[in-house]
Amino acid sequence: MTTLFKNIKELVQVRKQHINFLSAAAMKELPTLKNAYLLVKDGIIADFGLMKNCPTEKIDTFIDASDRIVMPTWVDSHTHIVYAGNREGEFVDRINGLTYAEIANKGGGILNSAKKLQETTEDDLYHQSKVRLEEVIALGTGAVEIKSGYGLTVAAELKMLRVIKRLKENYNIPIKATFLGAHAVPDTFKNNKKGYLDLLINEILPIIAKENLADYIDIFCETGYFTVADTEYILKAGQQYGLTPKIHVNQFTTIGGVQAGVKYNALSVDHLEIMTDDDIEVLKNTQTMPVALPSCSYFLSIPYTPARKILDAGLPLALATDYNPGSTPSGNMNFVVATACIKMKMTPEEAINAATINGAYAMGVSNEVGSITVGKKANVILTKKINSYASIPYNFGSNPIDQVYIMGEKIN
């Protein structure tokens, strides 16, 4: 089965060689080909180049991309799309003056979502979550990481992870599962946080390993949630089961979570709204990807991750949505890219690199997606008739996408 996209106005993010990730000045470069073709064979990118060299072999399907851009789908390396119900009530409470912390302290927040999820059947949870997955694919996301962490009991955490496994089986985009049992301390362990961590380690991790339910391990390392010592405790346990860390750090305060992530070779450290010079320094010359989540800053009115400071220090940066019911009820990567440009002063080139190649690294799928490279999955966006790729952030809030192709097949 062959598909040929032809007359592409601009084919974006073309990379002849495999790239692990891009840092600093290299992120300013976004290679493209104007008036190009893209050849897909059995769902995989087989060839690309200028129209003057367009293949003449027998093709099954032709797609005319005149006036339109073709680019790799977004890679969303940080989401919580498996959740039950919503937190619209808390949203209104915040408008009326309560803070995120005040809501959490009166039993709202993560514990509110956990209560709802515990009362939801696995089947219902799957159906609520698949609606969100299909929504984000239609918005151009072609690979996604999904966390547990709204269960907070053995049964409910496993329920979440089994739902993620079912999504992996039923959708042909790369999906990675992250165990975030240490998202909040449930009421039943209110005065016994150590007991809760031991439950995660002794009861849940062995089942996760046996049933292959997670690829990564996460913890909410934050004042009022889990300390650096808790973080090291859980990451060490995860390590024993071969789970690489991808952790929540520095969302509201800086307490040493970045350092703990680096110490345990985290694949990524995510949020980073509050960053000291030391936090930036420790990330230098490591394999740990900093990940910014600008929609979360937007929704909670908290500081944006200091992207300029991070990039100017020579580091890489990835962008993701954080799609979840509490801090970011949106999974729109187009909005993430726009917000990164508008609020974090990233250039369109930097933001697109951060949301494709670097996102792919941050969720361990660099070999499969993130660029137009021969051998990668043909997960691509065909835009509407837009002026240039800069239109994506410039026309923020508009949907730039005409069609999404997953493994070369058009998504309806």
Where along the sequence are the contacts to ligand NIG (CB under 6 A)? 109-110, 113, 220, 248, 251, 296, 322, 324-327
**Closer to ligand NIG at the Cβ: 64 or 88?**
88
327 binding partner (options Fe ion, ligand NIG, none; Cβ < 5 to 8 Å by kind)? ligand NIG
**Closer to ligand NIG at the Cβ: 91 or 394?**
91
Kindly state the tokens that stand for 51: 């129209």
Q: Which amino acid is at 205?
A: L
**Closer to ligand NIG at the Cβ: 133 or 184?**
184
Q: Tokens 């923020």 identify what position?
A: 396
- The dihedrals phi and psi of 140, each to the nearest 5 degrees, come to 105, 10
Other C-beta atoms within 10 Å of 330: how many? 18
**How many Å apart are CA 343 and CA 334, to the nearest integer?**
14
Q: How far is the CB of 223 from ligand NIG (least distance, A)?
A: 12
Q: Tokens 């991070």 identify what position?
A: 310
**Closer to ligand NIG at the Cβ: 325 or 359?**
325
Q: How far is the CB of 172 from ligand NIG (least distance, A)?
A: 27
Q: How far is the CB of 251 from Fe ion (least distance, A)?
A: 8
Kindly state the tokens that stand for 91: 């949203």
Q: How far is the CB of 352 from ligand NIG (least distance, A)?
A: 23
**Closer to ligand NIG at the Cβ: 234 or 386?**
234
**Closer to Fe ion at the Cβ: 10 or 322?**
322
178 binding partner (options ligand NIG, Fe ion, none; Cβ < 5 to 8 Å by kind)? none
Q: Tokens 């490591």 identify what position?
A: 286
Other C-beta atoms within 10 Å of 284: how many? 11
Return the H-helix or E-strand segment holding 249. Answer: strand 244-249
**Closer to Fe ion at the Cβ: 219 or 360?**
219
Coil/strand/helix, residue 194: helix
**Closer to ligand NIG at the Cβ: 55 or 329?**
329
Cβ atoms of 176 and 218 closer than 8 Å: no
CB proximity list for 385: less than 8 A, separation 6 or greater: 67, 68
Q: How far is the CB of 39 from Fe ion (least distance, A)?
A: 38
Q: How far is the CB of 248 from ligand NIG (least distance, A)?
A: 5
**How many Å apart are CA 400 and CA 337, to the nearest integer?**
12
**Closer to ligand NIG at the Cβ: 111 or 357?**
111
261 binding partner (options Fe ion, ligand NIG, none; Cβ < 5 to 8 Å by kind)? none
**How many Å apart are CA 81 and CA 330, to the nearest integer?**
9
233 binding partner (options Fe ion, ligand NIG, none; Cβ < 5 to 8 Å by kind)? none
Q: How far is the CB of 291 from Fe ion (least distance, A)?
A: 10
Distances (CA, A) of 364 to 47, 160, 319, 369: 24, 21, 14, 10
Coil/strand/helix, residue 18: coil
220 binding partner (options Fe ion, ligand NIG, none; Cβ < 5 to 8 Å by kind)? ligand NIG
| Residue nearest ligand NIG by beta-carbon distance | 326
CB proximity list for 154: less than 8 A, separation 6 or greater: 199, 203, 204, 207
Q: How far is the CB of 404 from ligand NIG (least distance, A)?
A: 25
196 binding partner (options ligand NIG, Fe ion, none; Cβ < 5 to 8 Å by kind)? none
48 binding partner (options ligand NIG, Fe ion, none; Cβ < 5 to 8 Å by kind)? none
Which residues on neighbouring strands pair with residue 34, listed in sequence order? 10
109 binding partner (options Fe ion, ligand NIG, none; Cβ < 5 to 8 Å by kind)? ligand NIG
Handedness of CA 387, 2, 131, 74 (dihedral sign): negative
Q: How far is the CB of 412 from ligand NIG (least distance, A)?
A: 31
**Closer to ligand NIG at the Cβ: 22 or 219?**
219
174 binding partner (options ligand NIG, Fe ion, none; Cβ < 5 to 8 Å by kind)? none
251 binding partner (options Fe ion, ligand NIG, none; Cβ < 5 to 8 Å by kind)? ligand NIG
Q: What is the DSSP letter of 159?
A: H
**What is the contact surface with Fe ion in residues (CB under 5 A)?**
322
| Residue nearest Fe ion by beta-carbon distance | 322
Kindly state the tokens that stand for 103: 């809501």
**How many Å apart are CA 271 and CA 305, to the nearest integer?**
7
**How many Å apart are CA 259 and CA 284, to the nearest integer?**
11
Q: How far is the CB of 87 from ligand NIG (least distance, A)?
A: 7
